[in-house]
Structure 1
Amino acid sequence: MAELLKVEALRAGYGAAQVLNGLSLALAEGEAIALLGRNGTGKTTLINSIVGVTTWHGGTIALEGRDITRAAPEQRARLGIGWVPQERNIFRSLTVEENLTAVARPGRWDLASAWRMFPRLKERRANLGNQLSGGEQQMLAVARALMLNPRVLLLDEPLEGLAPIIVDELLAALRRIVRDEGTAAIIVEQKARKVLAVTDRAIVLDRGSIVHQGASAALAEDDHLLEAHLGVAAATVRGHAHPT
C-alpha cells in the first residue's frame, strides 16, 4: 500500500511545553491505526499536531508526499485531513442536515451515503444539534468529517462517555468506514480491545514517544503487553475480557 501520511521526528506541544519527543509514524492508503496509551501520553497532542493546532518544535508532517508541517488547519482540511475531536464541535444551532451540507465537499461521501451509514441521523435530519443525544452528536461529528471527503480521518476518543448500545452501533459504523470503504484512519481510544478489533495496526505512546507498534490482532491477544502499557486487565477466561 502506498504511504499516505508520514510524520517524521515530530516535536510538538503547547507553547513552550514539548509533549511529543521526535515521534515518527506512517499511515498507508486504506490503513486504520489504533493510537493507544494511558492518559497524558501524547495521543491527543499527536492528533492535534496533524490537524495543525499545536505548537511546532521540529520534525515534519507530509500528506501524499506534500509537506504540510507549517500549513494552517483550514488548509490541511482542504488537502484531506478530516478530524473528529473529543469535543465533537458540531453546530448546535443548525439541523443535522445543515451540519452536514454546510461542510460538504465533492466526493463519494454525500448526504445519501451519510444516511446509509447512520440511519439514526436520517431520522433526526430536521433536529437541531443541541436536540441530539450524546451518541447521536458523536455520529453527526463523524458523518460531518466524512462529508469533507477526507484522505485521512482522525478520531479522538469517539466512544468516550457513550452508552454500550451506542458504542456497538458506532463501532460497527467505524468498521464499515475503514474496512468496507477503505478510509485511512487514526483512532485514539481508551477502550483498547474494542478499537483493536476494527483496526489493522496499533501504536502505543508513553511520554510522547512510541513504545510499541504492531498488528492490532496480535496486541489484542497479548495480555502482558496490554497490562504493561495500558493497564488493561488480562482476560480471566480467553474471549471474556474485562472491559477497558
Structure 2
Amino acid sequence: MNELLRIEDLSAGYGEAVVLTGVSLALGEGRTLALLGRNGTGKTTLINTLAGATRQHGGRITLGDVELNRLAPHRRAAAGIGWVPQERNIFKSLTVHENLTAVARAGHWTPERAYAMFPRLAERKGNLGTQLSGGEQQMLAVARALVLNPRLLLLDEPLEGLAPIIVEELLRAIRRITRDEGLAAIIVEQHPQAVLAISDDAVVLDHGRLVHADSAQALRAQPEVLERLLGVAR
C-alpha cells in the first residue's frame, strides 16, 4: 500500500491558542479514516489544519511528495486536498451547475459524474444554493470537492442535522466514492457506528492528542472502547 498522507508531530490551533499537540498519523492511498472524539477534542481543528485554515505551530504534513506546511489553502487544493467544512461553503447566490463549473478542474470527476453520483443535484441544476434543502446543500458541497479532482477528501461532520433518509443516501454515496472509486478520505462524524461501517481505519482524539488508533472494523466491534473513549455504546 502506497502512503498518501503523513502527519508528523503536528501542533496547531488558532492564533496563539494551541489545540493539537504532537499528532502523528499516516494514511494510505485509497484508504478511509474515521476521525473520532468527543466534542471539542480537536477533530475539526485537524481537518482545518490539513486544509490550511489554522495556524500550524510545529510538525510536518506531506501529501504524496508535497509538503503542505507553508502552502495557502488554494495551493493545497491544487496539490490534491478536497475539503467539505461543516459550514459547507457553497456559493448560495449561484446555481447548482454554476457552483460545480466555477471550481471544476480537469480529471476523472466532472460535473456530469457528480450528477450521476447525486441525482438530486441533476434535477436541480438551475436552482440557486438558497433554494436547496440542507441535505441537497451537503450533496452540493461534496460534489464541489469532487470536481476539484482531489487525492484526499476531507469531510467534517457531513451527516450533521440531516434527515435519516438523507443520511442513508449520503452514506451510500460516500461509500461509493471511497470504496468503488478508490478516493482516500478522512471523515469526522458524531455517529461513530455509521462512519466506522464505511471506513478502513480509525483514530480517536482527546484534548488535542491522538489517544487510540485501530482498524475501523476492530473498533466497531468493541463497544466498551467506544463507551470509554467517546461516551457512546453500540
TM-score strictly above 0.5: yes
Q: CA deviation at 1:129?
A: 0.4
Partner of 2:122: 122
**Residue 79 in 1 paired to residue 79 in 2?**
yes
Is the contact made by 2:115 and 2:121 (CA closer than 8 Å) also made in structure 1?
yes
In 2: Cα distance, 1:67 partner to 1:233 partner = 38
Partner of 1:29: 29
List aligned pairs for 1:80-229, cutoff 5 A. Answer: 80-229=80-229
Q: CA deviation at 1:112?
A: 1.6
With the length of structure 2 as denominator, give the TM-score of the two structures.
0.99
Q: CA RMSD in A?
A: 0.6
In 1: Cα distance, 2:165 partner to 2:171 partner = 10
1:98 is paired with a residue of what secondary structure?
Answer: helix
Partner of 2:10: 10
Q: Which runs of 4+ in 1 moved over 4 A?
A: none
Encode CA deviations 1:94-113: one digit per residue, 9 max, x unaligned: 00011000000000100221
Encode CA deviations 1:145-201: one digit per residue, 9 max, x unaligned: 000000100000000000000000000000000000000000000011000010100
- How many residues are matched? 234
Partner of 1:43: 43
1:102 is paired with a residue of what secondary structure?
Answer: helix
Identity of aligned residues (%): 67
Encode CA deviations 1:64-120: one digit per residue, 9 max, x unaligned: 022111111110011110000000000001000110000000001002211110000
Partner of 1:242: none
- Letter of the structure 2 residue corresponding to residue 44 of structure 1: T
Unaligned runs of 5+ residues in structure 2 are none
Encode CA deviations 1:3-55: one digit per residue, 9 max, x unaligned: 11111000000111101111001111000000000000000000011111111
Partner of 1:19: 19
With the length of structure 1 as denominator, give the TM-score of the two structures.
0.95
In 2: Cα distance, 1:197 partner to 1:93 partner = 36
In 1: Cα distance, 2:10 partner to 2:179 partner = 29
